[in-house]
Structure 1
């Protein structure tokens, strides 16, 4: 592929990572067309941006929009915001699986998704269990390239206030001093770093299933910044 010849589809453009990723996709010349799936239009305009208002319950009706090279999934919510575990699972499990199925059907080259550190289908923690089950289901699909990003605590400006998260972020500089060696993956990572890493990985011509914990996300981001400055 040459510059200005690729196309991308992003789901979850209004979230913390999704907002940053949208900026990254629009700023870089690799993509000549960027589609975002939204429930209601965002206050965003760009010559190569197309907003597609969708009903995730009827995602199959939007199959034409999956004729792209790369699909980025940044969908995610909280049980408090969703209102119940069932509603949470729709957003964090069911909808991403539907997106991946559609991507598989249309031969999308890369499916890139934000999961979470600690994702484990056997976990007794509902959040971690759901993320783990999602990862396992995605691995069963016939996707040419599946890239799973597992950030730890995300740093960035959220639209909604989360007391527990704000407290953790405030204390993170202290805790980070003790997170060395194998524990580095537990250090907080910025949403922008995750977005940059997702974009960078999508530009590599490779097939298979890959998982990136926080420390690896940071390395990819730092390497990209270094190469850009050269």
Structure 2
């Protein structure tokens, strides 16, 4: 199988690259040179310019603007434009280019609670992105809606994030049934789920949350 991974230097993308490259041909789409495994091909893209995607069996879109914790609740005006550019424009443009390249199957990272009519800017943008991709009629569209992601990031996290994770890791023990989808989840677990679901027979639109890990 031949896979393309956009957002390949991010928390989920890096894990996904490592999983997929063990037994598949993988092209990492990146904005800068990065030290990927030796058997991974690297394609440098400038998402602000015109580009074409190579033909592949599946495209994984793991792009996301690194918003701060408080922006998830009430996003600052200075952040909104940058966030929308990455999480809507870049993601939707990738999906459009995938269509033009004949790629029939894609997976995308969204968020738990995403909805096009949400009053929360973060969740509304994610919901609008999902809506756009659904309208492109891919053979398979896998939408992953993780909660807060756990894992080692390139940039150190602030004390507020560490405190948030400590509190929510504890409180998550008391979430049961459907509420379990809001529990923190390891980025590696989401990456493994993405890899697994990309090769199964579930065509059409599929939505996965932490409950599927």
Whether 1:72 and 2:67 are equivalent positions in the alignment is no
| 2:43 aligned residue | 52
Contact 2:5 2:27 in 1 (8 A): yes
3-state secondary structure, aligned to 1:13: coil
| 2:196 aligned residue | 200
Contact 1:110 1:146 in 2 (8 A): yes
Deviation for aligned residue 1:102: 1.4
Whether 1:62 and 2:52 are equivalent positions in the alignment is yes
Distance in structure 2 (CA, Å) of the matches to 1:8 and 1:14: 15
Aligned residues: 205
Contact 2:104 2:139 in 1 (8 A): yes
3-state secondary structure, aligned to 1:62: coil
Matches within 5 A, 1:110-149: 110-149=105-144
Deviation for aligned residue 1:205: 2.7
| 1:108 aligned residue | 103
Q: Relative contact order (alpha carbons < 8 A, sep ≥ 6): 1 or 2 greater?
A: 2
- Which residue among 193, 210, 213 is the counterpart of 1:214? 210
| 2:91 aligned residue | 96
Distance in structure 2 (CA, Å) of the matches to 1:99 and 1:153: 24
TM-score (norm 1): 0.84
Deviations 1:163-211 (A, max 9, x none): 4432221123321221011211111110000000000001113320010
| 1:85 aligned residue | 80
Which deviates further from its counterpart, 188-197 or 162-171? 162-171
Where does structure 1 lack aligned partners over 5 or more consecutive residues? 1-5, 219-230
Distance in structure 2 (CA, Å) of the matches to 1:198 and 1:182: 20
Distance in structure 1 (CA, Å) of the matches to 2:160 and 2:66: 12
Distance in structure 2 (CA, Å) of the matches to 1:112 and 1:100: 10
Distance in structure 1 (CA, Å) of the matches to 2:160 and 2:121: 17
| 1:151 aligned residue | 146
3-state secondary structure, aligned to 2:9: coil
**Higher helix proportion (structure 1 or 2):** 1
3-state secondary structure, aligned to 2:21: helix
Deviations 1:106-131 (A, max 9, x none): 33232001100011111111111110
Distance in structure 1 (CA, Å) of the matches to 2:84 and 2:102: 26
Deviation for aligned residue 1:44: 2.0
